[in-house]
Amino acid sequence: MVNLPNIITFGRLCAVPLAFWMIIDHRIDQAFILFMVAGASDALDGWLARRYGGNAIGAMMDPVADKALLVTMYVTLAAVDILPAWVAILVVFRDVVIVGGVVILSVMGHAIVIRPLYISKVNTLAQLMLVAASLLQGGYGVGLPWLTTVLIWGVTLTTLASGAAYVWNTARGG
């Protein structure tokens, strides 16, 4: 079903290759603006879906768009040496473990229900803050290097904790 929240989400998904190109082409300042617009669009489509009713397509497409944008930002920022490669690898590896686990268990016939965990929400916030801080510093020279370091370690710890929590909950059958 086509509705305004889904159109906004689709626009955010279309922003992924544009963000990739901007970073690879060293247009980090423009990538920062695009990232902020994408964040605002995520808030807007979520609000619209809650207020006027969402649908199954939007419920599936929204987290895919969010994850596609974040993973692209991490991999691309690492490729141009704005973020350490090991941070991008860790973030992507966590997602691969979670999605891979769901696929394997589904193929084995297990009914899988993934509920967002509090630590996962903290992790997503930390990941968003690190990308924004990195783009701001890389694009405009504005930022605090110590804050970026703190955010890197915050992302590292919350990525490990949330990945472990998902594995633990799934292993327990929860």
Q: What's the pLDDT tens digit per position in 142-161?
A: 988 999 999 999 999 999 99
Residue-level pLDDT at 30: 98
Structural contact between residues 35 and 132, judged by C-beta atoms closer than 8 angstroms: yes
Q: Residue 174 pLDDT > 70, yes or no?
A: no
Domain count, the chain: 1
* Full residue range of the structural domain in which residue 9 is found: 4-171
CATH number of the structural domain spanning residue 150: 1.20.120.1760
Mean pLDDT to the nearest integer, 1-23: 93
Model confidence pLDDT, tens digit, residues 24-78: 999 999 999 999 999 999 999 989 888 888 788 888 888 899 999 999 999 999 9
Mean pLDDT to the nearest integer, 90-100: 93
Residue-level pLDDT at 79: 98
Closest CA to 139 of 39, 21, 33: 33
DSSP string for residues in the chain: ---HHHHHHHHHHHHHHHHHHHHHTT-HHHHHHHHHHHHHHHHHHHHHHHHH---HHHHHHHHHHHHHHHHHHHHHHHHTTSS-HHHHHHHHHHHHHHHHHHHHHHHTT--------HHHHHHHHHHHHHHHHHHHHHHHS-S-HHHHHHHHHHHHHHHHHHHHHHHHHHHTT-
Q: Residue 100 pLDDT > 90, yes or no?
A: no
Distance CA 8, CA 29 (A): 22
Residue-level pLDDT at 40: 94
Structural contact between residues 131 and 35, judged by C-beta atoms closer than 8 angstroms: yes
